[in-house]
Structure 1
Amino acid sequence: MSEFSEPVADRPGTGDEGSPRGRRLRLVALLLLLVVLVVTVIRVIAAVGPPTREQLREQAGLAGKQTLYIGVKDDQPGVSQQLENGAFEGFDIEIAYMIAEDLGFDAPRVRFLAIESEDRARRQARDVDGSYVTVDLVVASYSITKQRQEQGVVFSAPYLETEQSVLTLASYEGTVTSLRDLADKRVCTLGTSTAESGLEQRVPRAYGRNRISGCIQELHDGDVDAVISDAAILAGFVGPRPPGELPPKNKLERVKKLRHWDIGDDRAERYGVNAGPNPALRDLVNLSLQESAEGPDGARWRVAFDRYLRSEQQYNNPQQVAVDRQPQPEPEDRVEVRQWPWERFALPYPHRSPPAWSSGVARARVRRSSGC
């Protein structure tokens, strides 16, 4: 055999490992290894990583739930009030709708029930038949305080910041720059509120009522000299109701022109949602507020603020109605959820369509459909 007739099989690189079949086997083995690696990583992350949004919904008892019950105020124009047709409107109502959407409930599946101040901690609201209902959430101008937290109220992150102020008749003789100016005056405030706490020492003739609208009616009637409460709550009673709006269910009588006084109170009233004892539900509420404050959906908060609170500012100067930016969540209120890389290219909120808020469209048509 000549040197030119050497067997082909003995030449380097011509064995099975260099053949198309060998390359296919190596590719299959590599793909199998990658699949095993991905499955292992996913199982590790699922075991020790943060929960998904859907897992939080299951832990919160929302999976399969048909209606979300929310306790709200019914006599605070601009913040939360009930209209004569039974629907609710106001800044708190829009925040409640925003959170409900992020929990997976569109407007027809949200039911608002009027709640009194002393019932907010227990989440007990009155139904139309007079019976008490334990609501899922309380969004009712509820200030976050250390005392309330120590008593067991589980608050979300804050969603609005305001301060305490004073209302008098526009014809009031004198000035009100601090509570000292009311030391000998008859003053009404909302019972079990932060305004009532410690007020009796500074204003001996002060007393609390169950509803702020009751205080305002007494002011119009001349039974009290002043009303003290949060600026955001009082502001809605000062200016005229926008033309074309439906009248409120709770109407005031013998209405007179009012004046809003800045008393220089540097204590911030920061409103939070009472989400009850379920930590998963609280986390979902905080996640909604967090995404609103930091994510592309923040226009929802801005539209609600502009529509109901900023529009009142012109009638309440120099008292600021509320801070015109959403409070940033504190580190302890921040929530992380597991989101796979491919989900980041989908809708940020897979349970609902992109909102119309980013285009500045208010949800009046939806708000009217959900009442009582």
Structure 2
Amino acid sequence: MKLRKVTLASAAALALALTATACGSGDKDDAAGGGGKKITIGIKIDQPGIGLKTPDGKYTGFDVDVAKYIAKELGYDEKNIVFKETKSADRETAISRGDVKFIAASYSINDERLQKVDFAGPYLLAHQDILVRADDDSIKSPEDLNEKKLCSVVGSTSAKNVKEKLAPKAELQTYGGYSECLTGLENKAIDALTTDDSILAGFASQQQFQGKFKLAGFKMSNENYGIGLKKGDADLKKKIDAALTKMVSDGAWDAAVKANFGPANYKNEQAPKIGDVVK
């Protein structure tokens, strides 16, 4: 009789635990796909025009617009999107660990990254470029950067590429963030800022900078932005590719480009075809 009491008590405890687990799981991100209440998406939060968290807690930018569109096509309401900052060095780890469902964060597709994650898209073809003052006509080609003060952020390969391949006599200066480079450019402490043209256009489109800077249009590299996701998740990749295709066909892609980059007169490439990675 005593054994029966223990068994019933254990069964009751197990049932209670399972009930609690079931109740709690509905509040978590649907990491496996389909039917979850919330979805966690990795973005940048410090790149105006791309991915930015504003002081009032809102998220803006082209990648944010793309992420919202994809989430909608996957069946999630915008109110149930959880945006998570994913810095460049942390993107592969965030995906493999399951911290995010997917990443839309100026994430260029390359062979090294494809060893660790899969990509849907691409959804934007960007290029390495430089930003100069609107009244500066002295830099007409990358070679004109020789003897010029060239700025980029600590850890970036963009300025290194220019110095090693195009303008070896450029005076490379690295700052902690792009905003510092912009201040230096505005104050004539530096002559040019280099990174992806989409990122440059996003900064130049900010209200306080409109009309002060211009893109040179050098197209020094091809940067195919893709949506990063867990390696081997063919079903999610297929669904995101379909969402990106629809975003282009219904005009939402063009609208997002204009809204986020338009004030900088960004001459964007046409929306790339799914799977068409330009080397």
**TM-score of the alignment, normalized to the shorter chain, above 0.5:** yes
Equivalent of 2:118 in 145, 150, 154? 154
Q: Provide the TM-score with structure 2 as the length reference.
A: 0.73
Higher CA-based Rg:
1
Q: Does 1:145 align with 2:110?
A: yes
Shift of 1:226: 1.4
Higher mean C-alpha displacement, 109-118 vs 218-227: 218-227
Unaligned runs of 5+ in 2: 1-29
Give a deviation string over 1:129-150, Cα, whole Å, max 9, x none. Answer: xxx9922221111222234334
Letter in 2 for 1:306: K
Bigger mean CA deviation after superposition, 199-208 or 162-171 = 199-208
CA contact (8 A) 2:31 2:101 kept: no
Q: Deviations over 1:14-65 (max 9, x none)?
A: xxxxxxxxxxxxxxxxxxxxxxxxxxxxxxxxxxxxxxxxxxxxx9702343
Structure 1: which 5+ residue stretches go unaligned? 1-58, 125-131, 242-251, 333-372
Change (3 A) 1:133 1:216: farther
- Richer in strand (by share): 2
Of 162, 178, 182, which residue of structure 1 is paired with 2:141?
178
Shift, 1:170, TM fit: 3.7
Indicate the residue corresponding to 2:198 in structure 1: 232
Matched residue, 1:292: 247
Matches within 5 A, 1:220-369: 220-239=186-205, 241=207, 258-265=212-219, 267-279=221-233, 280-294=235-249, 298-309=250-261, 311-312=262-263, 315-316=264-265, 320-323=266-269, 325-330=270-275
Q: Does 1:72 align with 2:39?
A: no
Label 1:275 to 1:180 Cα distance change in 2 as closer, same or farther (>3 A).
same
Partners of 2:148 and 2:239 in 1: how far apart?
45
Which shifted more, 188-197 or 73-82? 188-197
2:172 is aligned to: 206
Count of paired positions? 243
Cα distance in 2 between the residues matched to 1:146 and 1:209: 28
C-alpha distance in structure 2 between counterparts of 1:102 and 1:256, whole Å: 34
| Alpha carbons 2:148, 2:171 under 8 Å: kept | yes
TM-score, length of structure 1 as denominator length: 0.56
Query: In structure 2, what is the Cα distance between the partners aligned to 1:63 and 1:263?
Result: 42
- The answer to whether structure 1 residue 164 and structure 2 residue 164 are counterparts is no
Between 1:59-68 and 1:89-98, the stretch displaced more is 59-68
Distance (whole Å) between structure 2 residues aligned to residue 117 and residue 191 of structure 1: 12
Q: Could you list the per-position Cα deviations for residues 253-278 of structure 1 after superposition, in whole angstroms to 9, with x for gaps in the alignment?
A: xx796332425326332211111324
